[in-house]
Amino acid sequence: SYVLTQAPSVSVAPEETARISCGGNNIGTKSVHWYQQRPGQAPVLVMSADRNRPSGIPDRFSGYNSGSTATLTISRVEAGDEADYYCQVWHSTTNHWVFGGGTKLTVL
C-alpha cells in the first residue's frame, strides 16, 4: 500500500510562513491534494492537483510537488489558519485513496 508521511505538528508566529510537508515514494509523479480541518468541523479542500486553489481559498495558500515531497505553504499566517492539514493522493495501482496522517498547525 502507498504511505504518505506528515510531521505531526508545525508552529509559526502570525505573519510568518508555514510549510507543511507530505512525503511519499515518488510522490512527485502523483497529483497531491490538501485539506484543512478546523476543530469540530468537516475537512475543506484548500489545494488540488499540487498547486490549484479552489474558489474562496486565499492566495496566501500555495502548493508544490516534486521528487519525494509535496509541500503546502501558507504565507502571512493568521490565527484562523490554525487547523489540521491533510495531504491525499489516489493510488492508481489499487484504486485506493490515501491520506497522510495530518499536521496540526499552531499559530503562536
Sole binder of another protein in the list 45, 60, 64, 75 (CB under 8 A): 45
User: Which residue number, 29 or 94, has a Cβ lying nearer to another protein?
Assistant: 94
Cell digits of residue 105? 498547525
**Applying CB under 8 A, does 38 fall inside the site for another protein?**
no
| Residue 45 C-beta: closest distance to another protein, Å | 5
User: Which residue number, 54 or 58, has a Cβ lying nearer to another protein?
Assistant: 54
- State the residue for C-alpha cell 491534494: 33
**Applying CB under 8 A, does 54 fall inside the site for another protein?**
yes
**Applying CB under 8 A, does 35 fall inside the site for another protein?**
yes
**Applying CB under 8 A, does 43 fall inside the site for another protein?**
yes
Strands 61-66 and 96-99: unpaired
In angstroms, the Cα distances linking 81 to 1, 57, 70, 108 are 31, 11, 19, 11
Q: What is the per-residue burial (b if ≥16 Cβ within 10 Å, else e) of 23-35?
A: bbeebeebebbbb
**Applying CB under 8 A, does 12 fall inside the site for another protein?**
no
